[in-house]
Amino acid sequence: MRSYHIDRSVSPIPLVLKDHDAPTPGDRDVLIRVRASSLNYRDLLILKGTYGRNGPGAGRVPVSDGAGEVIAVGPRVTRFKIGDRVAGTFMPKWIAGPISAEAVSVQPNLTEDGWLTELRLADESACVRIPDQLSFEEAATLPCAAVTAWSALTAFRPVLPGETVLTQGSGGVSIFALQFAKTMGARVIATTSSAEKAARLSAMGADVTVNYREDPDWHLAVRAATHGHGVDHIIEVGGVGTLERSIKSAALGAQINLIGVLSEAEGFDPGVISSAIVTINRATVGSRQQFEAMNRAIAAQDLHPVIDRVFDFAQAPEAFSYFEGRGHFGKVVIRHPAA
């Protein structure tokens, strides 16, 4: 079997490919032939060594999201059998209930090896079955971006039919949020950077699009599109760089789901917080239980993830380079060998 490993002596993409012996499942382990993995912004930060204070050490197998087929099981496994199609959970210890210190203690790509490998062992509790209508490439996009969007829209203040959701850009979380919000009967306003992307978002169901490059004060356009009322839910992926405008876009009692850190702050006015009556929720992916609930909704609605581009396993460094350019619409996926 082969795995990619972080090696920061290599540039510009610090990855090296190594050969290994195939692992043997323990009592509760499943051995997965990984068929696809997908990239998140955090994966890029970890790869570059800029995620938090202490990034993973040299040698770590990167990428937090992957899907594949079970090819062997440990003697005490009860949840899966050989041939089952599964995806890994983003936080393997978070089974259900509120987030906790234990829930975040194990994270593929951060505290343990990730999914950029041909074979991967996982505890049976850290996997979910994937919807039948999804390909492995589609299923690999779910663990982080999709579950984050789902939990943001359902966990704390669930979206109600007729409410308005604001999404930002065309990355994985934002597009999943658009798809889920429309199935919930919500109106969606999407900010974007180009007319081409605006057209694609509209084709997916966005009711209003706002070009933030042409209209830097996009919160005014959002309020105009809601007749001054403001939006009820905001998928905030920009972080402090866009938070002020998000607050100014919000209706009274709105929920702002703070997810990403994609933009830098420029003169953020903290006073805007005291001028609004909103809840700011720091969204943190979701539990296995939420993942499974989301998969039931995906199956019922025949929803398919949006994939921008698929790279072959041998092209993993090129996939990261492409992803780093931030021109993608939807998810960037790596297809692994079938055998």
- Dist CA 58 CA 47 (whole Å): 10
Question: What local confidence, expressed as pLDDT, does residue 268 receive?
Answer: 58
Question: What local confidence, expressed as pLDDT, does residue 273 receive?
Answer: 66
pLDDT < 50 stretches in the chain: 263
- Dist CA 135 CA 139 (whole Å): 6
The residues spanned by each domain of the chain are 2-143+305-335, 148-282
User: Do 2-143+305-335 and 148-282 fold alike per CATH?
Assistant: no
- Classify domain 148-282 at the CATH topology level: Rossmann fold (3.40.50)
- Dist CA 317 CA 16 (whole Å): 9
For residue 334, what are the CA distances in angstroms to 3, 207, 272, 320? 13, 32, 42, 10
Q: Are 189 and 165 in contact (CB under 8 A)?
A: yes
For residue 339, what are the CA distances in angstroms to 33, 68, 77? 8, 11, 23
3-class SS string, 145-181: HHHHHHHHHHCCCCCCCCCEEEEECCCHHHHHHHHHH
Question: What local confidence, expressed as pLDDT, does residue 50 receive?
Answer: 85
User: What are the tokens at 313?
Assistant: 């396993």
User: What are the tokens at 280?
Assistant: 């700011």
Q: Are strands 65-73 and 29-38 parallel, antiparallel or unpaired?
A: antiparallel
CA-based radius of gyration for the chain: 20
pTM value?
0.93
Does domain 2-143+305-335 correspond to CATH entry 3.90.180.10?
yes
Burial of 74: CB neighbours in 10 Å, binned 0-12, 13-18, 19+: middle
- Dist CA 79 CA 84 (whole Å): 10
Strand order in the sheet with 187-192: 208-211, 187-192, 164-168, 231-236, 250-258, 278-282
User: What are the tokens at 97?
Assistant: 């209930």
- Dist CA 142 CA 130 (whole Å): 9
Q: Which residue has the tokens 């403001």?
A: 230
Distant-in-sequence, close-in-space partners of 320: CB < 8 Å, separation ≥ 6? 13, 15, 39, 43, 44, 47
Taking alpha carbons only, the member of 81, 101, 83 closest to residue 91 is: 101
